[in-house]
Amino acid sequence: MTKLSPLQKARYQYTPKLPKMLRNGIAEISVKEGEATTSVADQEKIQALFPNTYGKKEIIFEKGTNTSEAKKHVVGVILSGGQAPGGHNVVSGLYDALKATNPENQLLGFKNGPSGLLDDDFIVFDDAYIDQFRNTGGFDIIGSGRTKLESQEQFAVVAEVCKKHGITAVVIIGGDDSNTNAAVLAEYFAQHNTGTQVIGCPKTIDGDLKNEDIECSFGFDTATKTYAELIGNIQRDANSAKKYWHFIKVMGRSASHVALEAALQTQPNICLISEEVAAKKMSLSQIANYIADSVEKRSEKGMNFGVAIIPEGVVEFVPEFSVLIHEINELLAGAKAEVFNSLPNWKEKYLFIEKGLTKESFEVFSILPEGIQQQLFLERDPHGNVQVSLIESEKLFSSMVKAILDERKAKGTFKGKFNALHHFFGYEGRCAFPSNFDADYCYSLGYNAFMLIQYGYNGYLSKVSNLSRPADEWVAGGMPITKMMNIERRHGEDKPVIRKALVELDGKPFKFFAANRDVWAVETAYTYPGAIQYYGPAEVCDLTTRTLALEKGE
């Protein structure tokens, strides 16, 4: 038998906090409907695609008589996409609400993501099994996967699986793509009168599944606190050794919420924000010179050390680099990829690249370190495109900064030292023990999801708001997923998708960062968040993210 750590034992015993209203007892929870909703954009197109689930009303739960239909529920649940701390508590909250309503209710956990629904591969949860996973990180309770539910054939298979087991509802725990799939599946079920509902739960550590209704996706709090602890540790080390610049890449392919939150918690010397890079049309050279200026100014003060945070996807936001990526994708399209791959060495491949790129793009390509150049020609994604996430952008920028500083040293303008170390923080934060916030929030999302099921809602996202306040003051309810959708061009086709939330440059979190970063760039103003605290004063243990606090003016 596996020996449990003391913390693991203690976390099993933790009782997640619920919004006050959800603690009234299932029989005393009523529903209050609000206004009908519209999608964030492309209203006519979205309505045409979702005639049965579009325009539904937002709802909140409040104290009152439960008027839902009394019947036995068999609910299926899947974890979809990358791991995020707190997923186990969504399942636990869903299970507890379901059993509190009727001990005969069942929860089926479909294994390894959406493919479990297609393969009819599941387990039936019971108390003993659920209790092993309460308040723990990871998705190992049933596993996860990235299979997309998007074709009519897949929907028909899922409908048959649900019919076979008498499933009344499916809960999909995932990010923007997974919940887009949930909305499409809900529409299919409604159109074909299957009697099965679909409810989504907002998950992603990237923080880009948010809007006026969804204040925070689960996992973001724990992941950013984990990264901030590590960054704080590195800052303490840098300030002790006083001889290294640490370039730290953090997760966040399309949005820089993770990088911004980590910077707000730790106050590093440099933090790039991809959305600002795009807005200002900054070149690679401009970014590298911006970092080099900080290195030089700190060196003049005798501080030949520092910390720079780099968002994972920042290079995609550099206009000249985006053009280069597009040209490389075209260069290696079809049979030309075979010609390139058959060339015997990098020298000949380099000549092939030089001939195939425009003059402007080759100038960008030529200034890149050779290692980065080669990374651009690594294995393609399923659509034949460059896998930008494989590019070691932290090494790209440190290399470019070194080259700039070498030039300045030759001219006599830089007299300091520059030695770089590199880190990538990603997987370290995806399965951490959830913070109290995420443990509470996720349990509430799961509990709330069953209330939506009980009241018959379909195509809704479980919603818990007022999150910057103590859990007692949180507000539970639901919103139609179609409210978050717009039309985007994907693989040559118009597709309905949930709009990703990028860092808002006129938002309070970025403005606070922008108002302070010039001082942080030159001074050593590091803060050290330390490890996530689970026990002790609420102002320490239940602390929310700086992003959420600033957004709410706290």
**Contact indicator for 98, 75 with CB cutoff of 8 Å:** yes
- Extract the runs of DSSP E, i.e. beta strands, from 188-284: 197-202, 245-250, 270-271
Instruction: Determine the average pLDDT of the residues in 259-283.
Output: 97
Phi, psi of 90 (to 5 degrees): -65, -45
Residue 507 structure tokens: 């938002």
β-strand 475-480 against 460-465: which pairing, if any?
antiparallel
For residues 109 and 354, give the distance between their C-alpha atoms in angstroms, rounded to a whole number.
Answer: 53
Q: Which of 96, 176, 177, 206 is catalytic?
A: 206
Residue 283 structure tokens: 């070149």
pLDDT digits (tens, 9 = 90+) for 14-46: 999 999 989 888 999 999 999 999 999 999 999
Identify residue 348 by its one-letter amino acid code: E
Looking at residue 368, what is its pLDDT?
Answer: 87
Looking at residue 412, what is its pLDDT?
Answer: 93
State yes or no: pLDDT of 280 exceeds 60. yes
For residues 318 and 212, give the distance between their C-alpha atoms in angstroms, rounded to a whole number.
Answer: 28
Looking at residue 553, what is its pLDDT?
Answer: 87
State yes or no: pLDDT of 336 exceeds 90. no
Instruction: Determine the average pLDDT of the residues in 116-132.
Output: 97
Phi, psi of 243 (to 5 degrees): -145, 5
pLDDT digits (tens, 9 = 90+) for 52-73: 999 999 999 999 999 999 899 9
Instruction: Catalogue all structural domains in the chain, each as residue range(s) with its CATH number.
Output: 6-219+435-490 (3.40.50.450), 245-418+507-523 (3.40.50.460)
Angle, CA of 19, 441 and 95, to the nearest 5°? 85
Q: Tokens 């005393």 label which residue?
A: 28
Identify residue 226 by its one-letter amino acid code: T
pTM for the structure as a whole:
0.94
Band of residue 382 on the pLDDT scale cut at 50, 70, 90? low
Band of residue 329 on the pLDDT scale cut at 50, 70, 90? confident
- 141-145, 377-381, 401-405, 432-436, range with the lowest pLDDT: 377-381
State yes or no: pLDDT of 477 exceeds 90. yes
Assess whether 542 carries a catalytic annotation: no
> Residue 544 CB: number of other CB atoms within 10 A?
19
Share of the chain above pLDDT 90, in %: 85
For residues 465 and 483, give the distance between their C-alpha atoms in angstroms, rounded to a whole number.
Answer: 16
> Residue 374 CB: number of other CB atoms within 10 A?
13
